[in-house]
């Protein structure tokens, strides 16, 4: 991985101001700006946070999601699958995974939605590009988050491609951000352009992640928390989440 110099850190932190203009709930200044406006003037944005499996949006973006909810924006957590196991017909964990996702969404004040693919068997082909495009079009999002495309889980990579294709077909009319999950284990070679201070929302993120009780939260939340502390050090906060904006100069580096 390319080492991050102090100059890099400063330039990344400097992007916070840019991010406010493209709808990330980043610094305190973002909340302050909205709070100063009259209720009628507050721009209510539609935010869709996509994830391969129940739990991915919560682990990668839970603090950011809580920031959006607190600012009064509508947030949808769109899961590619329901966490089902088709290889073991005698045991289907999907009902448990869906119930956990609904509980997590309640904690984050978001709405769950499911794209109907199968865990471990994500498909990227013309028919599924069409289906996912229509699903996203129906949500009319202003902002969309998805997995960084270089990821050790095939479902995450598939979702990233489906979202990117929809973004192109929709004329890039929503802001698109890539997020990381368990950096180094799933997401790899990720280089952020933006940071969200989640110090004030981390406790709700933790609760939402622990709502996925069947998914070993003690192990995986500890790992994700390390990532949040690392991003916090980079951006000057106690804990932060990082993302990269599609079309930014860092993409492809
Ligand atoms: Zn996943």
Would you say 197 and 164 are in contact if contact means Cβ atoms under 8 Å apart?
Answer: no
User: Cα(18) to centroid of ligand 1, in Å?
Assistant: 29
pLDDT of residue 135: 98
The string of pLDDT tens digits covering residues 137-171 is 999 999 999 999 999 999 999 999 999 999 999 99
User: Cα(5) to centroid of ligand 1, in Å?
Assistant: 31
Q: What are phi and psi of 48, to 5 degrees?
A: -120, 120
User: Cα(20) to centroid of ligand 1, in Å?
Assistant: 28
User: Cα(81) to centroid of ligand 1, in Å?
Assistant: 10
User: Cα(54) to centroid of ligand 1, in Å?
Assistant: 7
- C-beta pairs of 23-29 under 8 Å, 24+ apart in sequence: 23/47, 23/142, 23/143, 23/175, 24/64, 24/143, 24/175, 24/177, 24/194, 24/196, 24/243, 25/64, 25/67, 25/68, 25/70, 25/71, 25/73, 25/196, 26/194, 26/195, 26/196, 26/197, 27/197, 28/197
Would you say 206 and 218 are in contact if contact means Cβ atoms under 8 Å apart?
Answer: no
pLDDT of residue 187: 95
User: Cα(89) to centroid of ligand 1, in Å?
Assistant: 21
User: Cα(109) to centroid of ligand 1, in Å?
Assistant: 21
User: Cα(63) to centroid of ligand 1, in Å?
Assistant: 17
pLDDT of residue 237: 97
Residues (pLDDT < 70) of the chain are 1-23, 25-42, 248-253
Would you say 179 and 145 are in contact if contact means Cβ atoms under 8 Å apart?
Answer: yes
User: Cα(147) to centroid of ligand 1, in Å?
Assistant: 9
Q: What is the pTM of this model?
A: 0.85
pLDDT of residue 41: 56
The pairing of beta strand 175-179 with beta strand 240-245: antiparallel
User: Cα(42) to centroid of ligand 1, in Å?
Assistant: 34
User: Cα(53) to centroid of ligand 1, in Å?
Assistant: 4
Residues 6+ apart with CB under 8 A from 97: 53, 54, 82, 83, 84, 212, 214
Would you say 104 and 208 are in contact if contact means Cβ atoms under 8 Å apart?
Answer: yes
């Amino acid at each position: 991985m390319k080492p991050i110099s102090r100059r890099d850190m400063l330039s990344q932190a400097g992007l916070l101001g840019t991010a406010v203009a493209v709808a990330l709930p980043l610094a305190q200044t973002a909340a302050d700006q909205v709070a100063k406006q009259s209720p009628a003037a507050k721009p209510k944005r539609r935010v869709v946070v996509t994830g391969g499996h129940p739990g991915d949006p919560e682990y990668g973006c839970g603090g950011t999601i809580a920031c959006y909810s607190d600012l009064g924006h509508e947030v949808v957590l769109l899961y590619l699958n329901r966490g089902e196991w088709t290889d073991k017909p005698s045991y289907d964990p999907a009902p448990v995974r869906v119930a956990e996702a609904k509980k997590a969404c309640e904690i984050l004040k978001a709405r769950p939605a499911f794209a109907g693919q199968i865990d471990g068997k994500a498909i990227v082909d013309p028919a599924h590009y069409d289906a996912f495009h229509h699903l996203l079009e129906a949500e009319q999002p202003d902002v969309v988050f998805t997995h960084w495309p270089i990821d050790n889980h095939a479902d995450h990579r598939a979702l990233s491609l489906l979202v990117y294709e929809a973004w192109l077909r929709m004329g890039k009319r929503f802001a698109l951000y890539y997020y990381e999950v368990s950096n180094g284990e799933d997401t790899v070679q990720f280089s952020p352009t933006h940071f969200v201070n989640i110090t004030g929302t981390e406790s709700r993120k933790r609760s939402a992640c622990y709502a996925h009780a069947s998914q070993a939260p003690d192990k995986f939340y500890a790992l994700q928390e390390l990532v949040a502390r690392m991003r916090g050090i980079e951006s000057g906060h106690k804990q932060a989440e990082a993302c990269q904006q599609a079309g930014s100069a860092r993409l492809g580096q």
